[in-house]
Amino acid sequence: MKLHVTMPDLTETIVSFDELLQKKPYTVLYFYPKDKTSGCTIQANEYTELYDAFAQKDTQIIGVSKDPHKSHCGFISKESISFPLISDTEQLLHNDDRFGVWVEKSMYGRKYMGTVRSAFLLSESWEVLKDWRNVKARWNAKVVLDYITWL
């Protein structure tokens, strides 16, 4: 599966998911609804603040949303995000059986399709070692890091 990844240096790279996962023994893949929204900004900032602690545990962080490369560039630049963001505009990862985060949601009685904020700890071979589904933006990064610390 080829993915469009926006790197912290604001370049767009097209790589396979396998290539991304082989950079470190562990990967935190977290899905968020939309760049530059309040909750997604809180979550990205917390992962950025803990970036070095994750690196010390041989773990890379990758964020995923439906937003395009240009939106990711603005988000990375404005928030100084220190990890790559995947532009999953066609929901290939969102709909992957391992993740399944593109679901029907409801707000004020209106039904719509959207991303469930979730995080997954993956091995180099795509194995989901742990998942956190329907999480709150605040403290998600800390909860994931605490789990990795006890591995």
Q: Residue 98, Cβ neighbours under 10 Å: how many?
A: 13
- Alpha carbons 8 and 32: distance in angstroms, whole number: 17
Q: How many domains does the chain have?
A: 1
For each of the chain's 151 residues, which pLDDT tens digit applies?
Answer: 788 999 999 999 999 888 888 788 999 999 999 999 999 999 999 999 999 999 999 999 999 999 999 999 999 999 999 999 999 999 999 999 999 999 999 989 999 999 999 999 999 888 999 999 999 999 999 999 999 999 8
Please state, in angstroms and rounded to a whole number, the distance separating the CA atoms of residues 91 and 77. Answer: 24
Q: Which residue range(s) make up the domain with 125?
A: 2-149
Residue 101 DSSP one-character state: -
CA distance linking residue 98 with residue 24, whole number of Å: 19
Q: Which tokens is 16 given?
A: 């396979």
Rg (CA), the chain: 14
Check which CATH number belongs to the domain holding 107 and give it.
3.40.30.10
Residue 151's pLDDT is 85
Chain Cα centroid distance, residue 9: 17
Per the annotation, the verdict on 73 as an active-site residue is no
- Token pair recorded at residue 132: 């956190």
Beta strand residue intervals within 12-139, DSSP E: 12-16, 26-31, 59-65, 85-87, 102-107, 110-115, 118-123, 128-132
The strand pair at 118-123 and 26-31 is best described as antiparallel
CA dist., res. 2 & res. 84, Å (int): 15
Q: Please report the pLDDT score of residue 126 as a whole number.
A: 86
Which residues, in sequence order, are bridge partners of residue 61? 28
pLDDT of residue 23: 81
pLDDT at 17: 84
Closest by Cα among 114, 53, 51, 57 to 83: 51
Among residues 3, 28, 40, 144, the one annotated as catalytic is 40
